[in-house]
Every structure is written in C-alpha cells, then in structure tokens.
A and B are shown apart, each in its own frame.
Chain A
Amino acid sequence: MQVPWRAAPRAAASSPLTVLVAFVAALLLSFVGAAAVLHADAAGSAAVAYQAGRLCPQTVPPVVDGNRVSVAEANQVLALAREQGARNGFATMVGAVYSPVRQWDFNGPHPWSQFGFRDGAMDNLRVLQGGARDGLWVPRSIAEDAGIKVGDRGLGGTLPPVTAIYADLADPVPAYWCSEQQRVMPNPLATEGATAAVIWFPDLGSFSAAMGPVSANAAAVSVRFPVDRLPATTDEAAALVERGKRTVDGVVAGLRADNKARLVSPANYFAKPVEVARTASGTVRDAVLPLTIVSLLVGLAGVAAVTAQWAQRRHAELRLLWARGAGPLALGARAVLELAAPLLAGAVAGLVGARLVLGWYAPSTNLTDGTGVLAALVAGGVFLAAIVVVGAVTAVRAHRTFQAGTVRGLGRAWRFVPWEVLTGIAAYLAWARLDSKPTRLAFGQPLPETADAVGLAFPLLVVLTVALVTVRLARWGLRASHRVNLWRAPAVQLAVRRLAAAAGSAVGILLVGTLAVGTLTVGVGVADAQRAALDTKSGLFVGAESTAQIPNRVALAGLSGPVTEHTTVVGVVKTGQSVILVVDPATFTKAAWLGDRDADALAAQLASLGTTGSALRVGDTPDAPVTIPRLGEVRPVARVASFPLIGTGRGYVVSRAALRDPAQVDVWQVWSNQPVGALIRDLDAAGVYHLNSRSKALALDGLPFLTVTWTFDFVTTLGFVLAVVAAAALVLAVEVRRRQNALAGALATRMGLRQRTLVGSHLTELGSLAGVSVAAGSAAGGVCAAVSAPMLDPSPWLRPVAGAPDLLPLVSTTTGVAAAVVALVCWAAVRSVTTARVGELIRG
C-alpha cells in the first residue's frame, strides 16, 4: 500500500472536527439501527411481562386440572405429572387433591366444607391456634360455625385430629393460592354447597386413606408447575410453553394408555400470550421501521455531508494523487482509510450506548438471546453502509471534479423526484387502513390483541410529508429570493442572501429539524394520548383506583377506622338498560377516579342532589323522571357525559341520603384512591369481609394500548436523535462557513454595518431555520397526534376514545430549546466576526 493510503488513518488527526463529526454521525446511526432492534425485542419482553403479570404466576406454566375423579385416579394423575414434569425440567410440582364439597360430619355439626391436600399448603396458611403438622388444619370460619376445636376428629373419628385453626384465605389471595382461589375461597354468591373453605390434610397418604372411600368419583385434582423465575422474554416464554406442552402431552398420553385421558383438562394459558407478545414485538418493529429507515438515511446523508466536507478540506491532496494517476475508487479508499476509525469507534459507541440506555427508551431491559448479536449486526451493517457512502461520495466527487469536469449530476435529478407526493400517497394508504378499522364492537369480531403496524406509520408519514413539502417550498423560496430586494431591512436581506448562498445545507437542516420536531411531537402526543386513554378507560371501567365488594350490613352501618380516609361506599343497582350508582356526596370525589373532572364542581353537583330523589343522568338517558325498581322514582336534574363505573353508558347517580330503603341496593362496594393492596389491608384491619376486589391497573388488557405507546415512545427517541442531528447540523453549517462568514462580516462591519444589524442578520438566518422547523414540525406533529390518537385507539368501542393530547408544554420546551440553540450558534457566528483579523483571513 502506498504511503498516502497507509498514513491515512493518522492523517485524520489533522482535522479533529471532521473526526468528531464522523464519530458522532456513526454513533447516532449505529444507535438508531441497534436501538430499533433492541426496542422491538424489548417490546416483546415487555408484552410477556405484562401478560405474565395479569396471570396468576402458577398458571403461567402449564396446568393440569381434573374434576369428578376418584382419589385413586387423582393419585395416578399426580404421579404421572410429577414424572413428566421432572422429565421436562420442572423441578417443582405442586399437586392438590380435593374432596367434594359436602356437609361433612364433625361429631354432630355438618358444616359445608371440603377436605384437601396440597403440596406446601401448610407453609402458606396463617395459623391462629395449634399448628402441629400431623393433623387436620381447619379454617376459622368453619371452626367457628361448627364449633370445631383443636383435637377434634371428624367423620366419626376416622379423620386425623384437628391440629390447627388457620385464618381463612381472603381476596386477593397470596401468590401461592392464586390458581386455587376459586376452589379454596367460598363464594357467597354461589349456590349453597357449590364452594366451601378447605380442611387441609397433612399429607397425600392420609388424605387418600381417609377420603378415598368416601369421595367416589367426585374428587378433584390440580397440578401446577411453579417456576422460580417467570419468563422475561418471548423466547423464554416460548420455551416454557413448549416444555409445558410436552409435559401435559406426556400426562395425557400416560392416562390415555389406561383410557383415562378424559379425566383431566390440561391447559397452557401462556401459549396465546406468547403468540401475542411476538405479534406485539413485530408490530412495534414494523411500525418504527419507516421512521428508522428515514433516520438512517438522514444519518447517511450526514455522513455524505461530512465526506463532502472532508473532500473539500483534502481537495489539494486528492487532486495531487489524482494527477499522479490515482483513480476515483482509489481516492474513495483513501477517504475510507482516514474516516473508518472514527466511524468504527462511533458505531461501537452507538451500539454500546443503545444497550446501556435501553431502559431509557425501551419498555423492558430483557432481551431475547441473540438480539444483542442482531443489534451488533445491524450496527455493523450501518457502519459498512457509512463506509460505502464515504467511499462512494469521494469517488463520485473525484470523478466529477477531476475527470468529468462538472460538479452537477444526480443531486439535481433527485430534486425533481416528488418525494412528498410519494410519502403523501403512503400516508393516505395508512390513513385508509386506520379509517377502515371498526369503531364499534361487532358480534363475532375478535378484540384487538395488538395495534396495526401499517396504521401506526400514518402519523410518521404525514410528518415526513410535511417536512418534505417544507423543504420543497423553502428551496423554491430561496431560489426566488434572488429577485427580492429587502435592503430596507438589511439584517433580513443579509440573512436571506446567506441562506440562499448555502441553500443545500439550509434545506437539509430544515428537513432534519422539521422531521425531528414533528416526530417528537407526534411521538409524545400519541403515546401520551394512549396512556391517558388506557387510564381513563380503566378508571371509568372500575370507578376508582381499586374497589371491593363488601357486605350490605357493613355498607349500611358504615365503615370506620383508617380505611375511611381513602374510601367511599358506593351502591350499585343494575337494571336491564342502565346502572344506578348510590353515592355518598361527602366522600365520593375523594375516593373515586375522576380523571380530569373538577372534583369540587362534581362534589357540589352531587351535594345538590339532596334527599329528594334528584339524580344526575349519565349518557343518553331520557331527561324525565324514571322509576327504578326497588329504589323508586328518580328525577334527573343534570346530565354528565360519563361517570365512574357507568362510563359513557346509560345510568343515574343518586345521593345515598335520597334512598328510602338502602337495603334494597343490590351490591355495595368500597372505592379507594389507593392500590388494591392498601385497600384490602385496611379492610382486613377493620375486620370487614370483602370479595371481588378490582384494580384499575389490571382492569383492562392494556397490551394494545401499550403497543401503540411503546411504538411512539421509540418515535420520540428517534425524534430526539434527529433533534440532536439538526442542532449539530446547525452548528456545523455555521462552523464550516465560519471563515467565509467572518471575512464577509468583518469587511461589512468595517464598511459601516452596525453590530445590531450583524446580530440581527444571524438571528434571522438561524432563527428562520429553527422557527420554520419548530412551527412546521409542531403543527404537523400536533395535528397528526390529534387526528391519529383516536384512530389509533385499539378499543374505540370502550369509551371515551383517546383524544387530542395537551402538547403545549412540549411545544413550549421545543421552542425554548430551539431558541437557546439559535442564540448559542448566533453568538458563535457573531464572535467569529468580531474577533476576525481581516488581513489574515484575506491572506488565507
């Protein structure tokens, strides 16, 4: 290799700014490419975690349940499951057998109860009395109702003695019991004898011996395979599902050999979530792909600009080498050898950065095996693309400059391609796809599991179209500006001339700036709108942060203690067509989920209902007195569009004081502004029995919303990266022309140009670029977010539909940052003029 090529890497040190810019360009390029890969995979992991969080941990792995089996058959199922589980890597198995629910004899009393054994049950109960593990453990409710004491023996003394009284399991049950909640917690609303608390045997052998003869074929068996760590990624989840499938298939095959396969119903509840998580990951990937590609193209254009700048700086050397016989390709290789090191360093830094700050931009930090390698391959591909761009730009430039004798070429032809029309058509097609989505839940139509990738691209394509249109208009405007005489405002005239003289970089900054602000705005706007929509829908759906049903007698007597500090008691009456809420005006607004509703105004409105049967009507209920069964007549005095729990459906809200007979209310609930754990804790502390607890956080399957949110969170990240690129481009555009500007400015000030005019011209020049970018980007992003947020709502039939977000804070911040960047760059430009030594500048 000849000396100039061999020494090229060291030559980079002679232009640190070029090295720095190449490094940063590669860093951003690599970051964007790698982050897109990591983010899409992290979305899958987040979807897995979200769905695992909605399931009982014990039902994430496979489950085997069997009803109407004999105790012997239950034992057979347990033995088979233990064998198959061990064979397929499930180190732990929790098996359980239950006798039928009956009024089992306990030396006279016949409480509704059931007997059971479950691996580890006694480790997960709170003992109130006794505690020896060699006898029966009886729940307090049964012990109190039937007068059972420690030492008693049931079924005519054939059962082991009672050795402990334990506290009844309460809703929500601990994790160990979550898969058994329906069986081990009596449901007071169920038919008598359908459910009952469990009297636990100390071991399977004693259970089998005692219950086998008396259970006939009415026993039940359940098998769980709890895992130490729930799957964190789609691959882990898929592997768990696959192992589970082999396990339950093995159990069923073993039973089938004895013609007993019908005894059990195996289930793999996590199989569908894995599929959905993969779909969500793919949706996010597909949705961010267009903007990622655009961002990469912008980055590569930046690399091309850096290369052009480098070629300009190295023009003499390139001409010398060319005059000595080097061809364009060799000169391209010369550029590559000099810029490869900073580009490689940047690409590595971008890859490492994308991994290190994954938690900042991605919904999860758990990645599927191989994703890191894939991200590294993408970063490597981006690096190679950058290298190709460097080589090609230099080679083409050398060919045009030295061989063809012209610098005109493809660049001019590309300007005539109507890019904005193409992206506009793509945006229209995406909009048509969104618009065709049903807004009502039709019978037989499946609920969406994730968002639509093509539809998600709509706002981005609109922003891209607006950015391209802005650039087109700016180019035309700058071309036409040659005919404009604005010398009445010299600062403006100078600014326009400078912009027109550097039209290429000006429109480039405008494109990136508009794209950056637009994507930031639309990203934040849509993501916030979907978050708010999920929050609002969940809040209206549940009514409060958490709720629980309480006995009527407790509700009528009123709560006491700490629980009253964050709760209100609400009566619910459902008729065929509407829901009637009975509220306590004094405490309702404190505990209910109100969203952006004015709490004081609502409190006053509820208080005004008084004791006369006045009601708020909700939704499209008729504005006329109606008679509610068991509650009497209510007279609407005001209307609200929506109300907690009723949502946007039909209903009435009446004051509790207006009820003639509160005992007629079907269900009483306690609503809290605290998480469900705190509500349950306080209810337990107050000794209030409760059931059917609900939490706003888990009320709805938010995955489709989250998919949209994750997508636009990444769009925001890309917007941020583009904003950095735009700001850097603005700085570089001034820095590259610093000498030229300094000379022109210094000469002009010596000829009488006032300092104020000089500053004004730079402010106008840079401010117009930043201002147009912010204005066009914010307008496009804001309008787009407002239009697309309701269209991107995955569940538009669940009202209210996602609405236009409040983007004022974001736009204010964007404007402030843009103004700060302009002021900084302007200061640098003016300073280079005021400190310039004209003699040195002219001498060059």
Chain B
Amino acid sequence: MAEHLFDPFTDVTVDDTPAALYELRGAHVEYRTPTGAVPAVEDVSFDVPASGVTVLAGPSGSGKSTLLRVLGLIDRHTAGSVAWQGRDIGRLSHRARRAVRRSRIAVVFQSPPENLIGHLTVAGNLRAAAQSAGLTGADPGILDWLGIPGTGDWRIGALSGGQQQRLAFGCALARKPAVVLADEPTSQLDAASAALVLDVLTRLTEEGVAVVAASHDDELVARGDRVVRLREGRVERVEGVDR
C-alpha cells in the first residue's frame, strides 16, 4: 500500500474521527539540558477518546504538562508513537503541526492572563480566537454560556481571574476544536471560581468537544471520564477505561 502523505487540511475531518482521538504507544519525551538529556515522560501508552474529559493526574514533576504539550503538538515526543486521529504526528513538519493546531486543537494555559490578549476587549478576544481557526467570528451567545453576559466591551483587566479563565475556555470553544487541552486550569483560582470553570469544562464536553486536562485538583479529577495517573514520567494506571 502506497504511503499516504498526511494533509491536515483534507485528511482531518470529523467524519474520519476514530473512536480514539490520540493513541500513545511507548511514548518518550526527553529534555536537553547542559548536563545531558533528562527524561520527562517514559514509555507512556494510553488512548484519549474523542469525547468526554480525560484528566492527566499526578504530582508535580510527573510529566502531566509535558504530555499535554505533546498532545497539543507543541513539543515533540522523542521516541515511541503518538497518533492523532489515527495518524502518527511524530514526523509532521512544523507547517503541518501548525495546521492541526490551528484547525483542531485549543490550548488553555495555567495562568488565566496568558490565555487572552490583554490589549483586546472580551469580544475582541473571542473574535481573535475564532479567526485563528479560520472562522469569521464567535458565537454571540458564548458570553451568556460562560456566565459573563454583557462583558463584550470590557477590557481583559476588568475581569476577575475566574472570569478570565472561563473566557479562555470560551475562546477555545469559539475555535470549534476537536479537543481542548487545559493545563492546570483551576490551580490559580479560588474554589468558587474553580467550580464555575469546571462547569464550563463539563459543558464543553456536552458541546461535543473532547477535553484533556492536566491537573492535581481532586474536583477536576473527579469529573474526569478517564483519568491517567502519572508518577515520575510513567503511567501508574488508567482509570475509567470502561466507563
């Protein structure tokens, strides 16, 4: 069978989506340091389904964020295979990886302000997020959906940390991605704000978007349809496989 060259623009369609969004098999990730290579993730194998909330759980330094960056096509794994919708992403060019990120993946970073463009308004951020995925604009109902109605003209600095983080998920939703990758989305929020963010996260899955979150927040872990427990860069166990 002739090798099929991966074209993210034509090959990646919702219709093609297999049951597993990501398939990791023996994935290794190393970081180069002045004193040599340091393994961050070793021999990790698990699947991420195309729906529901998948939580990468574990203590600090267990490799959660590293794995999330690999899944977000931000970092490259150094060995093993990581497949996106059935295709190995290890050998994709920078351009192809950007195309996948642009059209199919949304990333929410840990710090709320880092998910937004500070000099734009709330509405401007939503529009910017939608445009980045090739869409003309964001759904006007998103702010209501996020629980921050009427803030379209607000500057980002006028929002609280929790509101900013919810808006970050709103921006992610505005891009209509296949998956939202969230790195410790509640770690910098108080309990009330974190609960609102978790609600948003749950509702994202109801919109048909898969969510992968790295967290050691028990509340978030509890909401996970699938929980991948990590320790020292290795998968300790995967919970909820049969749920």
The residues of A with any CB-CB pair to B shorter than 8 Å are 2-4, 7, 10-11, 13-14, 316-317, 319-321, 323-327, 402-403, 405-406
Contact = CB atoms under 8 A, between A and B. Distances in A.
Given A316-B114, A403-B94, A324 B132 contact: yes
Contacts of A317: 117-118
A13 B120 CA distance: 12
B101 A323 contact: yes
A11 B98 CA distance: 25
Interface in B73-113: 74-75, 94-95, 98-99, 101-103, 106-107, 109, 111, 113
Contacts of B95: 327
Nearest to B75: A405
A316 B113 contact: yes
Interchain residue pairs A-B with the least CB separation, the first 6? A325-B102, A324-B132, A3-B128, A316-B114, A2-B131, A11-B119
Nearest to A3: B128
A327 B94 contact: yes
B98 A2 contact: no
Output the residue of A4, A319, A323 with the most chain B CB within 10 A.
A323
Nearest to A1: B131
Given A2-B128, A3-B131, A323 B107 contact: yes
Interface string B107-141: 10101011111111000100111011100000000
A319 B114 contact: yes
B221 to A, nearest CB: 24
B118 A14 contact: yes
B164 to A, nearest CB: 12
B32 interface: yes
Contacts, number: 64
A842 to B, nearest CB: 15
A548 B61 CA distance: 96
Given A3-B127, A319-B114, A325 B103 contact: yes
Contact of B101 (A10, A11, A325): A325
B175 interface: yes
A319 B129 CA distance: 13
A7 B119 contact: yes
Contacts of A320: 109, 114-117
Contacts of B131: 2-3
A807 to B, nearest CB: 46
A4 B120 contact: yes
B187 to A, nearest CB: 15
29 contacts: A2-B131, A3-B120, A3-B128, A4-B128, A14-B118, A14-B119, A316-B111, A316-B113, A317-B118, A319-B114, A320-B115, A320-B116, A320-B117, A321-B132, A323-B107, A324-B101, A324-B102, A324-B106, A324-B132, A324-B133, A324-B175, A325-B101, A325-B102, A325-B132, A326-B102, A327-B98, A403-B94, A405-B32, A406-B32
Given A320-B114, A320-B117, A323-B109, 20 more contacts: A2-B131, A3-B127, A4-B120, A4-B128, A14-B118, A316-B113, A319-B114, A320-B109, A323-B74, A324-B106, A324-B133, A324-B175, A325-B102, A325-B132, A326-B98, A327-B98, A402-B74, A405-B32, A405-B75, A406-B32
Interface residues of B, number: 31
B49 interface: no
Contacts of A325: 98-99, 101-103, 132-133
Nearest to A11: B119
A316 B156 CA distance: 14
A326 B132 contact: yes
Contacts of B75: 405
B63 interface: no
B60 to A, nearest CB: 19
Nearest to B125: A3
B72 interface: yes
Nearest to A316: B114
